[in-house]
């Protein structure tokens, strides 16, 4: 049986808290609650670093980063990038191999499989793609809030990406045709890694890349032992992250396998589970400081 987060011990050992965004820190409206923001600020006052570890691109995190003011570089693209906010300084970036990426995209186009390709500065889609909505919403938000743009482009031919750095490729798995893409990847392109970031989204990453690799790079940069890191998440792409962190916390809304991988369980993202986690750390650190 998993321990409730309020039973957390040795909170004074935690020097860095790393949180997933979607399904974890964000509620179903894709918002960070006032309670969570207050908890992040309290954590900062106690000298504990806080950042996010997400599948999203750095260029599309401005809205949340402005609110959170992370005190450590952000882990983006499911571990593929570690980037400082607000400077944009890249600590580490791992890209998809160019030749294999073009091969896979030609396969997708030839089989009518919808996809999204992201680079550090833009997103590319085939004509008629049904996957542009998320990025179009960001464009509207960016214009409204004066954030960095993340342009959308139509990709007529994969060779159009030859001069660009490719972070990742995304396909929808609720479509029957997408299984063909998965089979092709496993058979023909061993240089790729795959991870589910939501129920219907499969992300294609460089081989061996996951959030845990991003956390390792972050901790090397900060010179913080992994044993002093608390990580919280909810989905398949958080599994390696939770396995690596010294303190692993799953959301109540997490998938069963994620809950099993964690040592502690907090409330759901609709019940401010991350805020409760941070408040618990602050409370227990405060008590330990008084005793010292």
Out of 161, 176, 206, a domain closes at: 206
pLDDT for 202: 87
Quote the tokens at residue 166.
Answer: 């490719």
- Together in a domain, 169 and 267: no
| Structural contact between residues 192 and 96, judged by C-beta atoms closer than 8 angstroms | yes
Strand 49-52 and strand 3-4: the pairing is unpaired
pLDDT for 205: 93
Which residues constitute the domain of residue 158? 98-206
- What is the Cα–Cα distance from 36 to 20, expressed in whole angstroms? 13
Stretches where the chain sits below pLDDT 70 are 1, 175, 177, 292
pLDDT for 83: 99
- Together in a domain, 220 and 89: yes
pLDDT for 212: 98
- Together in a domain, 32 and 115: no
pLDDT for 173: 75
Out of 161, 188, 206, a domain closes at: 206
Instruction: Kindly report, residue by residue over 38-58, the tens digit of the pLDDT.
Output: 999 999 999 999 999 999 999
Output the CA–CA distances (angstroms, integers) from residue 5 to 27, 40, 62, 288, in the order listed: 19, 16, 29, 17
| Structural contact between residues 12 and 285, judged by C-beta atoms closer than 8 angstroms | yes
Structurally, the chain folds into a number of domains equal to 2
For residue 39, the domain's CATH number is 3.40.50.1000
pLDDT for 291: 75
Quote the tokens at residue 132.
Answer: 């542009």
For residue 167, the domain's CATH number is 3.30.1240.10
- Together in a domain, 231 and 172: no
- Together in a domain, 195 and 222: no
Out of 159, 190, 206, a domain closes at: 206
- Together in a domain, 254 and 114: no
């Amino acid at each position: 049986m998993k321990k409730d987060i309020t039973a957390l011990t040795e909170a004074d050992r935690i020097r860095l808290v790393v949180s997933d965004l979607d399904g974890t820190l964000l509620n179903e409206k894709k918002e960070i609650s006032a309670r969570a923001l207050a908890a992040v600020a309290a954590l900062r006052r106690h000298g504990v670093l806080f950042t996010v570890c997400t599948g999203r691109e750095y260029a599309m995190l401005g809205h949340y980063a402005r609110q959170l003011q992370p005190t450590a570089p952000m882990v983006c693209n499911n571990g593929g990038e570690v980037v400082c906010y607000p400077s944009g300084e890249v600590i580490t970036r791992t890209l998809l191999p160019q030749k294999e990426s073009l091969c896979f995209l030609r396969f997708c186009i030839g089989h009518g499989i919808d996809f999204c390709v992201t680079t550090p500065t833009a997103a590319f889609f085939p004509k008629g793609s049904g996957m542009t909505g998320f990025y179009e919403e960001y464009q509207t938000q960016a214009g409204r809030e004066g954030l960095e743009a993340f342009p959308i482009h139509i990709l007529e031919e994969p060779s159009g990406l030859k001069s660009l750095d490719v972070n990742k490729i995304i396909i929808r798995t609720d479509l029957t045709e997408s299984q063909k893409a998965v089979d092709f990847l496993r058979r023909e392109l061993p240089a790729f890694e795959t991870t589910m970031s939501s129920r219907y989204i499969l992300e294609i990453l460089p081989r061996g890349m996951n959030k845990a690799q991003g956390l390792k790079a972050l901790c090397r940069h900060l010179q913080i032992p992994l044993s002093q890191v608390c990580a919280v998440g909810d989905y398949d792409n958080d599994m390696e992250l939770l396995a690596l962190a010294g303190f692993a916390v799953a959301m109540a809304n997490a998938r069963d396998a994620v809950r099993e991988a964690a040592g502690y369980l907090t409330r759901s993202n609709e019940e401010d589970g991350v805020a409760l986690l941070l408040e618990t750390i602050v409370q227990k650190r405060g008590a330990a400081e008084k005793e010292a």
